[in-house]
Amino acid sequence: MAAPNRKTETHSKAGLKVTLLATTDLHAHLTQYDYFHDRPDPSRGLDALAPTISKLRGAFPNVLLLDNGDTIQGTPLGDVAASEDEPHPMITAMNALGYDAMGLGNHDFNYGLDFARQIAQSANFPVIVSNVTEIDSHDTFQKSVILKRQFTDTMGNPHDVSIGLIGFVPPQILKWDRAHLCGRVSVSDIAATAAQLAKTLKAEGADIVVALCHSGLDRTGNDPSGENAAYAVAAIPQIDAMIFGHTHQIFPHPAVAKSETLPALDHYRGRIHGRGAVQPKFWGYGLGILHLTLAQSQDRWRVMASHGAHYMLRPQAHPKPPEQPIHNRVLQHIRSPIGTTHTRLHSYFSMLGSCQIGTLLAHAQQDAAKRYLAEHIGVSDLPLLAAVAPYKAGGRAGPLHYIDIPKGDLLRKHTAEICLYPNSLEVVEVTGADLRDWLERSAACFAQIKDQPSDLIDPQAMSYNFDTIYGLEYEINLAKPARYDGTGLLRDPKASRVEAITYRGRPIDDEMRFLVATNSYRAGGGGHFDAPARGRACLVMHNAPAVENILADYITRNAPLRIAAETPWRFTPLGGRVAMFETGRGAQDLTQDAQDRGLIYQGQSSQGFSKFKITL
């Protein structure tokens, strides 16, 4: 379709500046309150950003406020809101703040398609998901939209400007939330869909096209899964600017510019392939800002210059108590008692073998899997294992992102912290060969340890992708290279660092078969885990209980807890090679635990982590 002949009221050569304010990965951080620890926290949250948004609207003449998804899930507030028949408080707040549009992220489908539809219907602004098509009804979500705005140029003249918006989620939502989405939606490739729709929007008269891309940067530039496609999207000629997210990193990030591996990333000017791009700080720690300079050319406004930047939240010394009506209901929920523990539960050493939290969660999953299998499938003779990972063990969220539950009462806030996501229980049947590959993917979280001291954890790896499989015993040989890189992409199919895998003292072979109780995200291949996705799904229930609810029920039935941490795996001895292990500050008072693991305290890192030397 040819672009319409749209003349503005004036052909002044004055420039026109447009500012895009962006949030991403808010994850239900609405209030200035930490519901996991039941205390105020002025450092994050949409409420805390509200004054900044107002301030920046006053500072710049032409502003759009956009959200990039993963908005409604991530804290107990999100879980409580999903259980109530009330307008979602995140969307209510966004309506009040005057958001112009939002895209959805993968976690916005965690509570089901119908709930995501309700979110879109309650928003006073367009909700855009370009690569998701609903099969069983007309599409609730908009594929694209053109916003008509009157903006003012630098000389005070008004102009009509058309802004085209498209939005994308990782195609893997069909795997990660298959119980909710399979047979109900189809999902297309991000980059191919973006290229097609961007051309269409330009043809339909959009002056500029902005991509809301809930997808991260693949550091190799070639992610075959298509999950992290932002680099490819930014290269599409018809796209003028991009807001991206999903991976909880930030861009631009000048501190890493010298070590950047992707040539088209400009961390100083906030550009990718020459176009303005920003990945805002997650959880409402700050806003992303895109500045676009437009000029008229052939009766159309075109982007002549652009750059991305950040406006980080400056916490108030004395934040106001949350005023949202849901706040007190969330407090009542997180303070609900479920049992007691005689064991301190922490995640400071979860990446080193034995872990009380991992042992507890594995037992809860196995217990529930036995009951549900007997009820829905029948009793199986196959061994039942459990795969669990530590969700809070440092990483990009920083040195305070750890679990530390003292002896005493256990409350719902504790199970919410152990199980950060509303994943449901699933059971898959896999072979011994699958188990080997599953463990190799997990072992990619560690760096290869050579003669010189080096960091133990691969900097690209996330702790929630370090599965321990309870019921097996095995070793991880860090002198050997990893089969996968830290993000989970296959590096060397012949590499093998997981050794001496046994079940009840017997070495496993490739043809043996096992049942594994895991969560829906992992069973669908989440985190680039192909092995569980290859397995036969034995237990996938449409209304399957969330793993957090399974854990809470297990605690109630077995309290008071006395947990002896099991040790399914250990590092293969390497003759005294040394590595550095970083963990949370709270580990410093676990002197005996550290000594038992051969850890020697080395002080704090520049980022505030406690550093320990470990001899392998």
pLDDT of residue 5: 38
DSSP codes of every residue in 161-172: EEEEEEEE--TT
Distance CA 306, CA 138 (A): 37
CB 364 within 8 A of CB 350: no
Distance CA 243, CA 234 (A): 10
Per domain, the residue ranges of the chain are 16-312, 337-615
Which among 173, 564, 537 has a CA at the least distance from the CA of 369? Answer: 537
3-state secondary structure at position 322: coil
286-317 CB burial, b ≥16 within 10 A, e <16: bbbbbbbbbebeeebbebeebbbebbebeeee
CATH architecture for the domain at 337-615: Alpha-Beta Complex (3.90)
pLDDT of residue 236: 96
Distance in angstroms between the alpha carbons of the first and the last residue of the chain? 66
pTM for the full predicted model: 0.90
pLDDT at position 194 over 90: yes
- The one-character DSSP state at 211 is E
CB 501 within 8 A of CB 507: yes
Sign of CA dihedral 452, 453, 458, 464: positive
3-state secondary structure at position 603: strand
- pLDDT digit string, tens, across residues 420-478: 999 999 999 999 999 999 999 999 999 999 888 889 999 989 999 999 999 999 999 99
Q: Which residue has the higher pLDDT, 329 or 225?
A: 329
- pLDDT digit string, tens, across residues 355-406: 999 999 999 999 999 999 988 787 788 999 999 999 999 887 889 999 999 9
- pLDDT digit string, tens, across residues 571-610: 999 999 999 999 999 998 999 999 999 999 999 999 999 9
Position 331: which residue type? L
pLDDT of residue 7: 40
pLDDT of residue 224: 57
CB 385 within 8 A of CB 516: yes
Distance CA 568, CA 72 (A): 36
Close Cβ partners of 369 (under 8 Å, ≥ 6 residues apart): 384, 386, 425, 427, 515, 517, 539
Q: Looking at domain 16-312, does it have CATH number 3.60.21.10?
A: yes
pLDDT at position 616 over 90: yes
pLDDT of residue 274: 95
Structure tokens at 131: 């690569």
Distance CA 26, CA 52 (A): 16
pLDDT at position 196 over 90: yes
- pLDDT digit string, tens, across residues 283-322: 999 999 999 999 988 788 999 999 999 999 887 766 777 8
